[in-house]
Structure 1
């Protein structure tokens, strides 16, 4: 089978399309023929070696952790899936390898693909969907009437978060660039702040929750938007507990783990029309390095996808 392999940490030139054996299917695994694979910022962070202290990889390795495809084999202990099932998943980083024709993944990390969308759209959901769920539903315990500020509402994570927050009955404010104001309004945001022309910290006030997907100066300015006792949930940069205390607020950092049962709930929201998944640019498997370069430039919109198998 074909796969993108990385033999040394470094820039995108380290990504090579090679022929490798089809992975073996363990007793708790399903073997999936990958139709489409998601491209996430963590992919180039792993490839570069910048997070090797947190997510060590045995070289050479295949990139990618979320995808959608068709089950071709199941392990002896697997009862929830059968060959021919259309599935989507987020595979643990210790294994991963979705930039490939086939991947073996623990069945507990897999869910049936939403019936109403394509493989491409399904592949765009697992990692950002699980991150938004972990941050808002589990960590922030968002409930009806709460006020939440979501940064980057047009991004892969932010767009899911806006819709999950609305489904919980929250009042949603989101920051976006000028070109994405109408898009995020269409996702249900109650207030949309154009960060290019407005300072969100001067507009958003008394927030119960802030979802910080950016870190840096955005995280620092976000403390001023929280009510006393409010919560800043970060997905990129761990918030300073000292800074949280100074703002009379709380801070939490979330790193979501693969869970098929959560994906099943997200699939139900998609099929019921309550969750729209935004797909950005699509690339052939052989052009994965080009996709990484574009992602690292910061000039993407929505989630990038690799088309792997027809």
Structure 2
């Protein structure tokens, strides 16, 4: 089978498509034939070595976290799935390996793919969709009537976060570049700020929650736009950032929460239900596996708005 691997940290040029043996499964595992795998910013932060404290430095490493595909084989202890079932799911966040013809998972890492969406759409749901649910529902605890600012709203997590915040009754102000304004509006944002025309710091409004998905807004900057008991949520944890947020939260009404993604099968089933009824899932571009370097180069440079996938079958 084909699998994307790399033997050292670096840019997209370290990624290689190699032939590998098809893995075998244990009694409680399933072998999934991958139809599509999602591209996430976390992928390139890992293979560039920016997350090595969490990912480790043992090589070779695989790439890709979330996927959609067909169950090819089930272990004797698997009870809820059988060969031929369409599923979507995730691998260990800092281990990866979804960019492969086959992956091995347990039942807790997958859920049935909604019949109403494509494999490409299902593949982009786990990481970005679960991140949006965790941010909006838990970390920001968004509720009816609240004012929410989403910075970096035209990316994968942002497009789902807009929808989820609206579902929970909030009024959403989205911040995006010129190419993302229309898409943020389509996702349901009540107001959209083009950051090339207006700086966030110039906004007169104060917010119950500010969600920064751009990794560019600092907590010090966000505090000026927060209400006295507002919450700032940021992505991509670092040891220092977690300590600073913890210490600040002890003494201030304004809170700083940092996303530590916790994928769960229950979360996947929630996403599946939302996808069946009310969730828009935009997939902006699909790449062939042979073009994986191009895929990561273009997405990491911001040339693809929303979500992109690599198609394997």
Q: Same fold (TM over 0.5)?
A: yes
Distance, in Å, in 1 between the alignment partners of 2:93 and 2:252 is 35
SS in 1 for 2:169: coil
Deviations 1:79-99 (A, max 9, x none): 122111111112113543111
Deviates more, 1:255-264 or 1:216-225: 216-225
Compare 195-204 and 166-175 and name the one that shifted more.
195-204
Q: Check 1:301–1:220 CA distance in 2 against 1; reply closer, same or farther (3 A cut).
A: farther
Q: Secondary structure at 1:201's aligned position in 2?
A: helix
Q: Is residue 157 from structure 1 mapped to residue 162 from structure 2 by the alignment?
A: no
The structural deviation recorded for 1:141 is: 1.9
Q: Which residue does the alignment assign to 2:182?
A: 182
DSSP 3-state at the match of 2:224: helix
Whole-angstrom distance in 2 between the partners of 1:215 and 1:245:
23
Residue deviations 1:108-161 (CA, integer Å, cap 9, x gap): 011111221110111111101111111111222222112211112211000000
Question: Deviation per CA, 1:163-191, whole angstroms, max 9, x where unpaired?
Answer: 01111111111101123222211211111
Give the Å deviation of 1:254.
0.9
Match of 1:296? 300
Q: Give the equivalent residue in structure 1 for 2:283.
A: 279
Q: Note the C-alpha offset of 1:220.
A: 4.1
Q: Deviations 1:271-293 (Å, cap 9, x if unpaired)?
A: 10x21112122111111111122
Aligned to 1:140: 140
Distance apart, 1:15 and its partner CA: 1.3
- Say which is worse superposed, 178-187 or 255-264, in terms of deviation: 178-187
Deviations 1:5-50 (A, max 9, x none): 2122222222111110112223332211000000111111221222
Structure 1 portions without partners, runs of 5+: none
Counterparts of 2:180 and 2:65 in 1: how far apart (Å)? 27
CA distance in 1, matches of 2:137, 2:154: 19
What is the CA–CA distance in structure 1 between the aligned matches of 2:44 and 2:180, rounded to whole Å? 25
Whether contact under 8 Å (2:155, 2:305) holds in the other structure is yes
- Structure 2 CA distance for partners of 1:257 and 1:27, relative to 1, 3 Å: farther
Corresponding residue of 2:84: 84
Match of 1:215 in 2: 215
Q: Out of 255, 259, 267, which is 1:250 matched to?
A: 255
Quickly say closer, same or farther: Cα 1:57–1:106, change in 2 above 3 A.
Answer: farther
Q: Does 1:6 align with 2:11?
A: no
CA distance in 2, matches of 1:14, 1:57: 14
Q: Does 1:18 align with 2:18?
A: yes
Contact 2:64–2:99, Cα closer than 8 Å, also in 1:
yes
Return the offset for 1:260: 1.5
Give the RMSD, CA atoms, in angstroms: 2.0
Q: Which residue does 1:264 correspond to in 2?
A: 269
Query: Could you list the runs of 5+ residues in structure 2 that have no partner in the other structure?
Result: none
Whole-angstrom CA distance in 2 between matches of 1:156 and 1:219:
22
1 CA distance for matches of 2:180 and 2:41? Answer: 20
The aligned counterpart of 1:200 is 200
TM-score (norm: length of structure 2): 0.92
Tell me the TM-score normalized by structure 1: 0.93
Q: Secondary structure at the match of 1:216?
A: coil
